[in-house]
């Protein structure tokens, strides 16, 4: 048994009476937004089962196997998509025939009864899962509603990657994916266990080594993730989250946002939606406390600090304001559309229109100026002032870390390929890769960075946009 499963008894208490418990022990964080109650905990179930339901949240099983555990979610890997499986207790399609020992082997060693599991399933992190947590999880999985059908999609990798036993050699080098640190307080040890083993934060935030295992020397220092970038979350002041207070970290993990500072989009939204928003105050505090003591690593992607004085103030809480502001631009854009030739490699478009637009009575910029591009393509969701349309379920983008990085890659990626809010019901953001030229995307990128990121200047070029789209596309 692992030495640090101590908070388990505390956890049972917190499931039973979470609010009173949290208030008493963490007076410093009483202003935290309330945590979302667990949908899969029931007074009809045993304590062990209910604890397993919570462990499943902390280990984020649902992000990959779906909320009903029916599987079929593609996990993008450099060798191709690997699909998650049905892990309901169906004997034909799920894990209904698993013994607890089989379950333990699958989680800790990536070994299913009849085959090796690909590490798209984060067993290199779950390797450190405690016996108690695995027993609770196993009890809980016996109570999950059975789904008697195969996942919508299953994995087909080409030879020789389809030889699952190759994973045995890989496991020798890459399991476990992290080591336990000495000299941590009990709270930090709980935090380490959550961050490294259950939540497996490093599977996205740690760069990979040559064999695609986690690079322990660059632990949590940021890594590209398909069309996204998972930033450096070590406590380095300039390139990581060193300037965040523990409360900031807790609030971000619970709500997916920090006002004028950060937003959890894409894969991070998934982590918040399926997992971290359900965590107790105690567990979030332990994670925040631990993240403050992991080795700080400086990377070349530094964050340009917010110059608050340069950030816009919200202009109006009336939706009419936004619509009127946009109206002229939209009309002009519509009238111009047939003439705008999308030329991927040059700035000709803006030259063309400025010569057409010499009418001194026109107060607005021409329709391909950075401002009009923003108003035409972005303001209907994010607002004229960047604070999002009133009552809209979209995120305000003012001050976000994703628009203040020295490397504009993440922002260009979002504009080119779009974004989906996983923990709100807002329709998704479309990608503009096909509708806008590289020069236009560059222009919007610069506009957003300067006007909503508070950057003194930004000179992203069409070539840079082209490179990012090629790399991420
Ligand atoms: C990051 C995504 C991810 C997360 C998180 C994840 N899994 Fe998986 N899991 C997968 C994928 C992908 C497979 C299929 C791998 C393969 O085909 O080799 C899998 C396979 C499995 C299997 C083997 C099933 C079989 O017999 O084929 C079990 C059991 C399992 N997962 C349980 C869990 C549990 C329990 C959790 C939470 C503690 C969890 N998984 C979290 C991606 C994930
Ligand atoms: C599935 C991949 C994935 C997992 C798992 C994940 N993250 Fe993230 N994380 C991201 C991405 C991508 C972003 C960037 C989000 C954005 O800018 O919208 C991010 C952003 C963040 C940020 C904000 C950093 C900043 O500078 O704005 C913090 C803090 C963070 N993650 C912490 C964590 C912690 C702690 C965990 C483990 C509980 C975790 N993440 C798990 C992908 C992930
Ligand atoms: C149809 C509505 C819509 C439009 C149009 C739109 N977005 Fe978004 N945007 C979203 C949604 C949805 C998200 C995901 C976050 C959320 O849940 O609101 C998002 C996220 C973002 C983010 C945050 C990325 C992060 O996670 O840190 C930025 C920056 C952004 N959009 C910029 C833009 C820009 C620039 C444009 C115009 C080129 C644009 N958006 C157009 C809906 C939209």
Q: How high is the pLDDT of residue 333? A: 66
What's the rounded Cα separation, in Å, for the pair 426 and 340? 30
Q: How high is the pLDDT of residue 363? A: 38
Ligand 3 binding pocket mutation candidate from 204, 371, 414 (most atoms within 8 A of CB) = 414
**Sign of dihedral through CA atoms 299, 302, 303, 305?**
positive
- The one-digit pLDDT tens for each residue of the chain (473 residues) are 333 333 333 333 333 333 322 333 343 455 778 888 888 788 888 999 999 999 999 999 999 999 999 999 999 888 889 999 999 999 999 999 999 999 999 999 999 999 999 999 999 999 999 999 999 999 999 999 999 999 999 999 988 888 999 899 999 999 999 999 999 999 999 999 999 999 999 999 999 999 999 999 999 999 999 889 999 999 999 999 999 999 999 999 999 999 889 999 999 999 999 999 999 999 999 999 999 999 999 999 999 877 778 888 887 777 777 777 777 777 776 676 544 444 333 333 333 333 333 333 333 445 678 999 999 999 989 988 999 877 777 889 999 999 999 999 999 999 999 998 777 777 889 999 999 999 999 999 999 999 999 999 999 999 999 999 999 88
The pTM assigned to this predicted structure is 0.89
Q: How high is the pLDDT of residue 238? A: 95
Which residue in this structure is represented by tokens 């993990």? Answer: 253
DSSP 87: -
Ligand 2: residues with CB < 6 A are 195, 199, 201, 203-205, 225, 228, 230-231, 233, 241, 249, 252, 262-268, 270-271, 276, 287, 401-402
User: Among residues 377, 329, 375, which one has the least CA distance to residue 353?
Assistant: 329
Q: Is 60 in the pocket of ligand 1 (CB under 6 A)?
A: yes
| Nearest bound ligand to the CA of residue 154 | 1
Give the 3-state secondary structure of 317-363: CCHHHHHHHHHHHHHHHHHHHHHCCCCCCCCHHHHHHHHHCCCCCCC
List the beta strands (DSSP E) in 142-298. 223-225, 228-230, 257-258, 262-263
CA of 230 to the centre of ligand 2 (A): 6
Q: How high is the pLDDT of residue 34? A: 83
Please enumerate, by residue number, every residue annotated as part of a binding site for heme c.
61, 64-65, 201, 204-205, 378, 381-382
What's the rounded Cα separation, in Å, for the pair 65 and 279? 19
Tell me which fold the domain 308-472 belongs to: Cytochrome Bc1 Complex; Chain D, domain 2 (1.10.760)
- Quick one: which H or E segment has residue 77? strand 74-77
The two tokens of residue 391 are: 């009552």
Q: How high is the pLDDT of residue 361? A: 36
CA of 143 to the centre of ligand 1 (A): 18
Ligand 3 binding pocket mutation candidate from 382, 391, 458, 465 (most atoms within 8 A of CB) = 382
CA of 300 to the centre of ligand 1 (A): 34
Q: How high is the pLDDT of residue 159? A: 87
Q: 223-225 and 228-230 as β-strands: parallel, antiparallel, unpaired?
A: antiparallel
- Quick one: which H or E segment has residue 31? none
Distance (Å) of CA 379 to CA 324, 412, 463: 12, 17, 25
Segments making up each domain of the chain, as ranges: 7-174, 188-291, 308-472
């Amino acid at each position: 048994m692992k030495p640090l499963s101590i908070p388990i008894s505390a956890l049972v208490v917190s499931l039973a009476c979470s609010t009173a418990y949290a208030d008493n022990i963490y007076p410093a964080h009483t202003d935290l937004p309330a945590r979302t109650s667990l949908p899969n905990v029931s007074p009809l179930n045993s304590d062990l089962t209910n604890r397993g339901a919570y462990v499943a949240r902390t280990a984020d099983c649902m992000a990959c196997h779906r909320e009903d555990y029916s599987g079929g979610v593609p996990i993008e890997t450099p060798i191709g998509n690997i699909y998650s499986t049905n892990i309901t207790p169906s004997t034909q399609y799920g894990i209904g025939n698993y013994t607890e020992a089989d379950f333990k082997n699958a989680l800790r060693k990536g070994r299913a009864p009849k085959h090796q599991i690909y590490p798209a399933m984060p067993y290199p992190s779950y390797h450190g899962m405690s016996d108690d947590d695995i027993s609770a999880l196993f009890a809980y999985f016996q109570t999950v509603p059975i789904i008697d059908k195969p996942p919508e999609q299953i994995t087909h990798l080409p030879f020789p990657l389809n030889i699952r036993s190759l994973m045995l050699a890989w496991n020798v080098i890459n399991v476990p994916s992290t080591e336990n640190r000495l000299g941590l307080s009990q709270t930090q040890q709980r935090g380490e266990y959550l961050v490294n083993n259950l939540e497996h934060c490093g599977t996205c935030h740690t760069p990979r080594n040559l064999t695609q295992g986690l690079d322990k020397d660059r632990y949590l220092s940021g890594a590209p993730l398909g069309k996204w970038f998972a930033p450096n979350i070590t406590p380095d002041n300039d390139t990581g989250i060193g300037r965040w207070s523990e409360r900031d970290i807790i609030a971000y993990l619970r709500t997916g946002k920090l006002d004028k500072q950060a937003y959890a989009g894409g894969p991070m939204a998934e982590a918040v939606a399926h997992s971290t928003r359900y965590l107790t105050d105690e567990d979030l505090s332990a994670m925040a406390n631990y993240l403050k003591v992991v080795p700080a690593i400086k990377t070349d992607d530094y964050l340009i600090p917010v110059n608050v004085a340069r950030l816009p103030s919200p202009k109006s809480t009336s939706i009419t304001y936004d619509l009127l502001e946009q109206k002229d631009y939209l009309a002009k854009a519509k009238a111009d559309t047939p003439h705008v030739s999308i030329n991927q490699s040059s700035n000709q478009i803006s030259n063309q229109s400025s010569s057409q637009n010499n009418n001194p009575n026109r107060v607005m910029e021409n329709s391909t100026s950075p401002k009009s591009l923003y108003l035409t393509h972005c303001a209907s969701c994010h607002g004229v002032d960047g604070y999002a349309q009133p009552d809209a379920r979209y995120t305000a983008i003012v001050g976000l870390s994703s628009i203040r990085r020295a490397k504009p890659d993440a922002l260009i990626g979002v504009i080119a390929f779009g974004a989906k809010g996983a923990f709100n019901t807002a329709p998704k953001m479309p990608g503009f890769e096909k509708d806008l030229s590289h020069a236009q995307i560059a222009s919007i990128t610069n506009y957003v960075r300067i006007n909503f990121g508070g950057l003194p200047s930004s000179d992203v070029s069409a070539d840079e946009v082209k490179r990012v789209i090629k790399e991420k596309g």
